[in-house]
Amino acid sequence: MIHVESLTKKFGALTAVDSLTLDVAEGEVFGFLGPNGAGKTTTVRMLTCLIAPTDGRATIGGLTVGRDDHAIRARVGILTETPGMYDRLSAEKNLTIFAKLYGVKDVAGQVDKYLRMLGLWERRGDEAGSFSKGMRQKLAIARALLHEPKILFLDEPTSGLDPEAAKLVRDFIAELKSEGRTIFLCTHNLDEADRLCGRIGIFRTRLLTVDTPANLRRRLYGRKVVFHMKRLDPAWAEAARALPFVKEAQAVDSRLIVGLDEPEEQNPILVRRLVELGAEVQFVGELRHSLEDIYLNFIRQETGNGE
């Protein structure tokens, strides 16, 4: 649905986006993860035909950026970084204006539908300026959906929201995903990317890597298993290390953390050995690295190489 090839944007001497290449499949939620100033907004602006790339090419739903701009704008939905509402106009009026600009056939019907869906129906007559940040964001999401776009660009949809509002917005994005829309989600919230996205691209001016959240974890750290014991004898870590398939073993408090290639086959053997040595095993589980570790690792590597 989204195909990007060597896309580059320069602002004078500054390269904001450097030769970005990626593909997003139909129905996929793609997480575009990067720190502030990484060039996420710039990328979204290029892909929604708001600014022109300096170099490279991109197609959106088969339409070419730079040639079919008008058609692309009509077909995609965008949640801009700042909601940019007309504060003196009512929520309903705000949506009506955009429904008309997008050429929606049943203007009133679509406006009603999304006001209700996002829980703004009761306040539809109130000025948008009187809304809380969370409600403005919901209104902005409604605005992006009025013309039922198959492809959605969401630029940091939960940044600046309180946890409750952020959760509502996230749940709504999950719902959009289940409707089969293709979503390009910019975020610097790792948890959000982890929960919503099928694949994540870690990006800072250049695309550092793309993979599923699970693969990102595995690639960077291998697989690890944690054994929770009632009491831990440091000698057991020694014993575990002595097994040929154990890559590493570490004692941390009352837990033993073991690096394995195939825990499915190797865990039972390890458990048996530990029990033989007198260990009382309470739980066995796979250690999940937080995405944050992975992300920081990539960003750090990048900074290390670049500077």
Ligand X SMILES: Nc1ncnc2c1ncn2[C@@H]1O[C@H](COP(=O)(O)OP(=O)(O)O)[C@@H](O)[C@H]1O
**Sheet containing 63-64: which strands, arranged edge to edge?**
14-24, 2-11, 55-60, 63-64
Site string for Mg ion, 40-79 (x = CB under 5 A): xx--------------------------------------
Of 21-50, binders to another protein (CB under 8 A) are 45, 48-50
Q: Which of 206, 145, 198 is nearest to 25 (CA)?
A: 198
Would you count residue 185 as binding ligand X (CB under 6 A)?
A: no
Whether the CB-CB separation of 171 and 200 falls below 8 Å is answered with no
Output the smallest distance, CB 95 to another protein, in A. Answer: 11
Nearer to Mg ion, 94 or 187 (CB): 187
How far apart, in whole angstroms, are the C-alpha atoms of residue 262 and residue 233? 25
Chosen from another protein, Mg ion, ligand X, none, partner binding at 157 (C-beta under 5 to 8 Å by type): none
Output the smallest distance, CB 246 to ligand X, in A. Answer: 42
Nearer to ligand X, 35 or 180 (CB): 35
Pairing of strands 151-155, 182-187: parallel
What count of residues does the chain have? 307
Among 30, 42, 143, 181, binds ligand X (CB under 6 A): 42
- Kindly determine how many residues on this chain lie close enough to bind another protein according to the rule CB under 8 A: 30
Nearer to another protein, 43 or 260 (CB): 43
E-strand stretches of the chain: 2-11, 14-24, 29-33, 55-60, 63-64, 76-79, 151-155, 182-187, 199-204, 206-211, 223-229, 248-252, 255-260, 281-286
Burial of 137 (0-12, 13-18, 19+ CB in 10 A): buried
Output the smallest distance, CB 13 to another protein, in A. Answer: 14
Pairing of strands 182-187, 29-33: parallel
Site string for another protein, 64-103 (x = CB under 8 A): ------xx-xx---x-x-xxxxxxxx---x---xx-xxxx
Q: What residue ranges bind another protein (CB under 8 A)?
A: 11, 45, 48-52, 70-71, 73-74, 78, 80, 82-89, 93, 97-98, 100-103, 140, 143
